[in-house]
Amino acid sequence: MSKVIRAVGRPVFTTREIALLAGGSLSAVSHSLKRMERQEIVRAVVRGLWCDPADPRFTPFLLVPFLAGGHQAYVSFLSALNLHGMIEQIPHIVFCATTGHTRLRRTPVGTFSFHRIHPNFFAGFDWYRGGREFLIATPEKALVDSLYVSSRRGKQFGFFPEIEFGRGFRFDTARRWAKQIPDPKIRKYVQTRLQLLRQQDGSRKARQRIRHAASGAQGKIKSRNPVAPNSPSPGLPALPGASS
């Protein structure tokens, strides 16, 4: 059975896939997989879905398309912001955008939170790091998705702890995504929040430049006025034993 599982080519697979490859019945394959689970070789995620957590390629993000209930989905919101290095805090839940219903799915491998966005706004994602493991929102779309959902009751994703906008982040791109939001009220809300975040980021970077300039100026002063060993400081008497 292990050889059949490896033939799937990924550490996430279904009972039906294994049955087709092994040429056995769903019932027989299911019993074999359950036996392997007791031996801690594989792990059941939900009914008919399995994974191999020991496989170095495995990540809970691989489960997203299988848990989306037949709908399209991609990793977004805080999960995507963390993977893109924009926030350091690792979410305990895998957050996803979907064309299906908003819902929470708890599994032995992790908890997955699916948030519905308008089908016309379902874009702005690609394969993670050029592979084909799972789909993820671009940094700009992940931020706009977060603001999009935060406009709803409960204001989820409305606060970003210590968010870092790197050199690759483009606020212009984020604004273009915001313009595509179908609902005018939500669109206005997101555009306002984006403008506020950009102002906050500009103020923070300005403070950093000031501190950097001040630090550089102090370094230049010290390099121009080196203090010889054992030499007295200006305005202070020489220490006993200091050379004249």
Q: How far apart are CA 130 and CA 41, in angstroms?
A: 29
- Dig out the tokens for 71 from the structure: 């709908």
Q: Is the pLDDT of residue 113 over 60?
A: yes
Q: Give residue 241's pLDDT.
A: 45
Q: How far apart are CA 25 and CA 42, in angstroms?
A: 19
Mean pLDDT of 31-45: 96
In the numeric block, the tokens 């050199």 are attached to 167
pLDDT band at 219 (very low <50, low <70, confident <90, very high): low
SS3 135: strand
Q: How far apart are CA 21 and CA 44, in angstroms?
A: 19
pLDDT band at 227 (very low <50, low <70, confident <90, very high): low
Per-chain mean pLDDT for the chain: 87
* Residues 127-170 pLDDT 10s: 998 787 899 999 999 999 999 999 987 667 777 768 899 889 99
Answer CATH for 1-55 from 1.20.1090.10, 3.40.50.300, 1.10.10.10, 1.10.150.120:
1.10.10.10
Q: Give residue 239's pLDDT.
A: 41
Q: How far apart are CA 136 and CA 94, in angstroms?
A: 11
Q: Give residue 161's pLDDT.
A: 65
DSSP 8-class letter at 91: P
Q: Give residue 222's pLDDT.
A: 61
Q: How far apart are CA 142 and CA 84, in angstroms?
A: 9
Ranges of each domain in the chain: 1-55
- Dig out the tokens for 130 from the structure: 């050029």
pLDDT band at 238 (very low <50, low <70, confident <90, very high): very low
In contact, 63 and 31? CB cutoff 8 Å:
no
Q: How far apart are CA 171 and CA 189, in angstroms?
A: 16
In contact, 94 and 112? CB cutoff 8 Å:
yes
Q: Is the pLDDT of residue 19 over 50?
A: yes
Q: Is the pLDDT of residue 62 over 90?
A: yes
Q: Give residue 200's pLDDT.
A: 87
Beta-carbon contacts of residue 116 (< 8 Å; ≥ 6 apart): 97, 98, 99, 100, 101, 102
Compute the residue count for the chain.
244
> What pairs with residue 126 in β-bridges?
136
Choose among 196, 185, 186: nearest CA to 163. Answer: 196
Query: DSSP string of 137-155?
Result: E-HHHHHHHHHHHHTSTT-
